[in-house]
Chain A
Amino acid sequence: MLWTLAWRNVWRNRRRSGLTLATILLAVVLGLLMRSMQYGSYDAMIASTVARGGHIQVHGEGYWDNKSIDRSIRADAATLGQIMTVDGVVDLVPRLESFALISFGDRTKPAAVIGTDPTVEHRYTALADRVVEGDYLAEGQRGVLLLSSLADYLGAKVGDEVVLLGAGYRGQTAADLLPVIGIFDLAMMGNLETGLAYVPLVAARELYAAPADQVTSLSVMLGDGDTAWATADILATMLGTEYEVMTWHETSKEVVQQIQSDSAGGIFMLGILYMVAGFGLLGTVLMSTMERRREFGVMNAVGLRKGRLATVLFIETLALVIVGVILGLLVSLPIIYWFHLHPIPVSGDLVKIFQDFNVPPFIPFALDPGIFVAQGLVVLVMALIVASFPIVSIRRLHIIRAITGR
């Protein structure tokens, strides 16, 4: 009967309950949308970070601090196979990169020359989509893809042959004459002092005089990014001390910190939003408690313990909030799902900002169940706090005054 009582009380004042629901619903929907957008942007940042470097990177010991091609490792079929057997590993992106001079005519500029498997590279970085002139690289092809600013500086066009010259594996001469297959554009932060170029992995090994199967890094792609730490531990144990195994958290510390600081800001804002909603809820709850003081007095007089009375009230508020939260989730879910599938494209100057942060120019919405659970829980905690106010007022209830309405 206590449940009946609580339930009927919720419906007793439909408009008030409706407004309370609306307040909670609004808070949940706004909170979810905000959080979903934030998580969406983090996902995009992480995705772009991971696309470029993998969830986990495997290098030769000491490579990260001193990126020399001499610290490259052998990634033969056996090693790759061994890594692929680890649970959760879905793909490996081998890269062989170092610095070389790129020269055309009388212009020369140092550039990072990245040897990669064109197919696998495109799978993660969508590099082919960045090509603005010419074609994308093909496997085994002898050719180079130049960053547009580098190509501009050199004055090199698609089809021109550029010279690549540098120090190769173990001090051997790295020199090659490669045709420009394509020119790509990549929004990058920082200075353009150094250029960037991609060559097929085989061509890179030839250029750097590296043995077959040699790579400077192996980017490990996981099915579930959350397992990066655990999988990295497994890989580190498996591969031994000649290798260093780092997760993207270690190789991209600044991304982690940017996410953390932004998330803290978001949580702060959500806190404010929920505080406002909480106050609204508190107002309703207090009103309803005050209105029903007499009723509470009577119930206490006829033998309902204050404790149970408080429980009823608590359940009432909670029931209302839970319904509000559920409604909020139901309203948000389709919206978020829609925007998750159809991220809002940004336009104009914003495109540049997004590209500078190395994320696609869309406002993405994350569909992470964690967000929904977290938001639901936060609102519930808020509701619990608010719902405990009536308990205080019940404890202080003076039966005679309550009954007589004084």
Chain B
Amino acid sequence: MSLSTAMRIGLTALLLVALDAGIDSAGAQEVDAREIVRRANDLARGLNSYSTASMQIERPDWSREMSMKSWSLGTEYYLILITAPARDKGQVFLKRENDMWSWVPRVQRAIKIPPSMMNQSWMGSDFTNNDLVRVDSLVIDYIQTVTGEETIHGYETYRIELMPLPEAPVVWGRVVLWIAKTEYFMLRAQYYDEDGELINRLTASEVKLMDDREIPTRLVMEDVKKPGHRTIMVTESVDFHIDVDDAFFSQQQMRTVR
């Protein structure tokens, strides 16, 4: 089924990483696992950013590259504008709380994505529409436990295991995150189903200075069960100091944003 492999958390991670430059590393003394994840997530909340990125979708027999600009306000609001390739240029995605709209210049219409489409792939990538909508799930839907410390690419990380709360609306049986101890960015995330089988793997690398802070700029989301299926997201620039409020994230804005 083409709806399979919902990588709904992937983009959460993307956003977390993209936004976590706001972290106050001095405050990271506490090693309570829940606190680490919450802190990373809180960093995303209430922060506004503008970034440019490219996304490469890789499949065994083809690959495709896209460029985009995105604006965000916490995890509740964001706007993504596709800038390349030509066919997709100008397409806008707007997320407001639990709803998502798509604006397509070709048809000059904004369409609300219905529930039945939420698990569909986003722009043909290994992310789903849901990944863009339910971004704070990692904090609120799981019990987090630090289960170890590892060094990845020279960064000291906590290995944090997330077990879903009994009634949390998440499909994963277990999530394991590797979060840098001092910088609080995520370097790896692995998603398992209820039988303990690894389904998705997200890896972050190429930590670079963006705006005023260092963040991993290259994210790779792999579909472990389908070799050769992966999506690579490369952050090209970030401005962590833009001035937007929730009014910016409107259907009107979808039509005019460039």
Determine the distance from Cα of A209 to Cα of B66 in the docked complex, in whole angstroms: 15
Residue from B106, B111, B123 in contact with A108 in the complex, judged by beta carbons closer than 8 Å: B111
Contact B114 A110 (CB under 8 A): yes
Q: How far is the CB of B161 from chain A (nearest CB, A)?
A: 32
Contact B125 A171 (CB under 8 A): yes
In the complex, per-residue mask of A143-175: 1 if CB is within 8 Å of any chain B CB, else 0: 000000000000000000001110110111101
Q: How far is the CB of A143 from chain B (nearest CB, A)?
A: 14
Give the interface size class of chain A.
Answer: 20 to 34
Contact B114 A163 (CB under 8 A): no
Contact A176 B114 (CB under 8 A): no
Given contacts A171-B121, A175-B104, contact A163 B59 (CB under 8 A): no
Chain B residues within 8 Å of A101, by CB: 111, 113-114, 117
Chain A residues within 8 Å of B91, by CB: 173, 175
Contact A67 B107 (CB under 8 A): no
Chain A residues within 8 Å of B1, by CB: 66
Given contacts A101-B117, A173-B123, contact A165 B112 (CB under 8 A): no
Q: Which residue of A lies closest to B125 (CB)?
A: A171
B238 within 8 A of A: no
In the complex, number of A-B residue pairs with CB atoms less than 8 Å apart: 69
Contact B88 A172 (CB under 8 A): yes
Chain B residues within 8 Å of A163, by CB: 104, 107, 109, 111
Give the interface size class of chain B.
Answer: 20 to 34
B2 within 8 A of A: yes
Contact B114 A173 (CB under 8 A): no
Determine the distance from Cα of A212 to Cα of B82 in the docked complex, in whole angstroms: 25
A80 within 8 A of B: no
B154 within 8 A of A: no
Majority SS at the chain A contact face: strand
Contact A67 B2 (CB under 8 A): yes
Determine the distance from Cα of A344 to Cα of B180 in the docked complex, in whole angstroms: 78
Contact A165 B87 (CB under 8 A): no
B116 within 8 A of A: yes
Given contacts A109-B114, A165-B104, A170-B62, contact A103 B124 (CB under 8 A): no
Contact B59 A70 (CB under 8 A): yes
A355 within 8 A of B: no
Chain A residues within 8 Å of B70, by CB: none
Determine the distance from Cα of A172 to Cα of B102 in the docked complex, in whole angstroms: 14
Determine the distance from Cα of A163 to Cα of B114 in the docked complex, in whole angstroms: 14
3 tightest A-B contacts by CB? Answer: A171-B124, A177-B107, A175-B104
Interfacial residues, chain B to chain A (CB-CB below 8 A): 1-2, 57, 59, 62, 64, 82, 85, 87-88, 91, 102, 104, 106-109, 111-114, 116-117, 120-121, 123-125
Interfacial residues, chain A to chain B (CB-CB below 8 A): 66-68, 70, 101, 103, 106, 108-110, 163-165, 167-168, 170-173, 175-177, 193, 209
A170-B64, A175-B107, A193-B116 given. 14 additional CB < 8 A pairs? A68-B2, A70-B59, A110-B116, A163-B104, A165-B102, A165-B111, A168-B124, A170-B59, A171-B64, A171-B121, A172-B124, A173-B87, A173-B104, A177-B108
